[in-house]
Structure 1
Amino acid sequence: MAGVVARSLNMAVRTASRRGIHVSAAVRGDHDMTDPIEHATGVEKYELLAKQAGNDDPFFLKSYSRGAATKEEPCIVNAMDTFRLVGCVCHEDDTIIKWMWLCEGAPKRCACGYWFSLKVHPAPEKFAMPL
């Protein structure tokens, strides 16, 4: 009986190991993928075209240093709307971000004493996005 079980297990291992491997994509190494800009549409294509033109932050998402940020010369925060949520790391060794809402035309002071002002830029038209 033990020989029959061992023989059937041996057959199961042999049939499982005979499966073929499909490698046609690896064989055709002479073909490259096309440019991703050709396949992108809408917001993704807008962002790729802006980066290609030299604007690496078309939606104002990168963080930056606030500088002096006094009441006379506040730190300018760019936005594509009339309001934006802004986070301030008051001291370099802080682990907490202090959040505040900025509105167009109303400079705001953080708890640490730095001033912020909002600068509104026109957003791209939804129906004028590149195809």
Structure 2
Amino acid sequence: MAGRLLLRTCTVLQLRSNVVARPLHRTMATVRGIPTDDEQATGLERHALQGFKHGKDPYSILKPREHAGSKEDPHIVPCIGTKRLVGCLCEEDNTAVVWFWLHEGDAQRCPSCGSHYKLVHHELPH
């Protein structure tokens, strides 16, 4: 009986000495609060958020600015080449689309309604 007691005591002491004192794992909520989108975003989302901070819209996520369509304030058409095919709905309830080629340079008019369009070179985000 004394041998069993001695054996149990030795094994308990040996188990206690093998345990390494580690700090408790803390979650983000207990240290600094819940992480923001900027802190946990990765990949394309992170690239878009960094662009928004600098006032850019790298993937054309935001709604484009409204233009009058006049010669002084033409509709902006982004393009990666020198020309682009553009479709114009000349009237609000029109079912036919007027298609025409828009070339780089000055603003050009729609052949049907006279609304002005301008081709602007656009860089790809990646």
Using structure 2 for the length normalisation, give the TM-score: 0.47
> Larger radius of gyration, structure 1 or 2?
2
Structure showing greater relative contact order (alpha-carbon pairs closer than 8 Å, 6 or more residues apart): 1
Using structure 1 for the length normalisation, give the TM-score: 0.46
